[in-house]
């Protein structure tokens, strides 16, 4: 894996800290929060190399974790966030446990081998989130962090308070966006899209707005996108009310973290506030 950011202290008191991890097809991130101080003291972001095949993700992830000395301690709590697109949200009234695999195959295809089906219960929304995770990745986390709390990214986003105004929330990854549309105080769309060019992203956003009949909607950006990038400029051409996400105010942050653009990691730090 290629390190993108490593903001790491020499040591951490694991027994007084929580560990937040995020894994996707694009990479692996982790952050460590000292609970007593209510402060995030460590952060690291890694991207898979372009020549890494999906079948190698488990081995690459395990090798990366092994090199991170801060992850060897026994943490107070560990959260694992899965940001994979193979997810289906089902209302309580329509849920049938025996159909989980069939539903995922119907929506996302049945070509995936060696995967685990996990389920999140989102009581606040009355929804089950059924999702697939590669066995190799799931096994790494179960081995390294037994007892960790697993959640899907969509589940966490649905637990956040809905925006009072119509709004598009976008999290940027290399060649992928996670998009959430809130309209009339409720989440109308929550999904992932892959892209190759900046024009792909503007097309996706404009198409979503057309389908859901919203105009001049504000946009909030998080993840690795820069204001001077062609990607940002392409979005701003069509959405002039575009802002970058802030760090969650519920926590404090090490000075080295606050020196970076706040939106880079805001979605990672928002995880433990959803408990």
pLDDT in 10s for each residue of the chain, 275 residues: 899 999 999 899 999 999 999 999 999 999 999 999 999 999 999 999 888 777 788 899 999 999 999 999 999 999 999 999 999 999 999 999 999 999 999 999 887 778 999 999 999 889 999 999 999 999 999 999 999 999 999 999 998 877 778 999 999 999 999 999 999 888 999 999 999 999 999 999 999 999 999 988 999 999 999 999 999 999 999 998 999 999 999 999 999 999 999 999 999 998 765 55
Residue 169 covered by a domain: yes
pTM: 0.92
Domain of residue 216: give its range: 161-244
Residue 168 covered by a domain: yes
Other residues' Cβ atoms within 10 Å of the Cβ of residue 162: 15
3-state secondary structure of 159: helix
CATH code, domain with 194: 3.30.420.260
What is the count of structural domains for the chain? 1
Q: Where do we find the tokens 């007892």?
A: 147
Other residues' Cβ atoms within 10 Å of the Cβ of residue 50: 8
Cα dihedral 138/110/172/31 (nearest 10): -10
Residue 173 covered by a domain: yes
Q: How many CA atoms lie within 13 A of 191 on its CB side?
A: 10
Residue 216 covered by a domain: yes
């Amino acid at each position: 894996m290629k390190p993108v950011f490593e903001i790491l202290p020499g040591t951490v008191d694991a027994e007084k800290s929580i560990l937040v991890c995020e894994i996707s097809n694009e990479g692996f991130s982790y952050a460590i929060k000292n609970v007593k101080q209510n402060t995030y003291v460590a952060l690291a972001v890694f991207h898979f190399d372009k020549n890494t095949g999906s079948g190698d993700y488990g081995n690459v992830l395990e090798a990366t974790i092994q090199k991170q000395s801060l992850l060897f301690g026994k943490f107070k709590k560990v959260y694992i966030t899965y940001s994979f697109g193979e997810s289906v949200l089902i209302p309580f009234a329509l849920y049938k446990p025996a159909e989980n695999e069939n539903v995922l195959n119907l929506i996302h295809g049945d070509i995936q081998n060696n995967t685990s089906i996990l389920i999140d219960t989102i009581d606040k929304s009355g929804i089950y989130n059924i999702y697939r995770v590669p066995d190799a990745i799931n096994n790494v986390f179960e081995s390294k962090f037994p007892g960790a709390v697993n959640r899907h990214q969509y589940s966490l986003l649905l637990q956040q308070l809905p925006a009072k105004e119509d709004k598009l929330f976008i999290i940027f990854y290399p060649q992928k966006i996670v998009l959430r549309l809130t309209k009339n105080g409720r989440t109308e769309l929550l999904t992932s899209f892959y892209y190759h060019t900046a024009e792909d992203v503007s097309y996706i956003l404009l198409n979503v707005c057309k389908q859901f009949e919203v105009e001049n909607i504000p946009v909030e950006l998080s993840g690795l996108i820069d204001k001077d990038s062609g990607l940002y400029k392409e979005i701003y051409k069509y959405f002039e009310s575009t802002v970058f996400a802030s760090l969650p105010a519920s926590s404090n942050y090490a000075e080295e973290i606050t020196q970076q653009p706040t939106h880079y990691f805001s979605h990672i730090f928002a995880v433990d506030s959803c408990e």
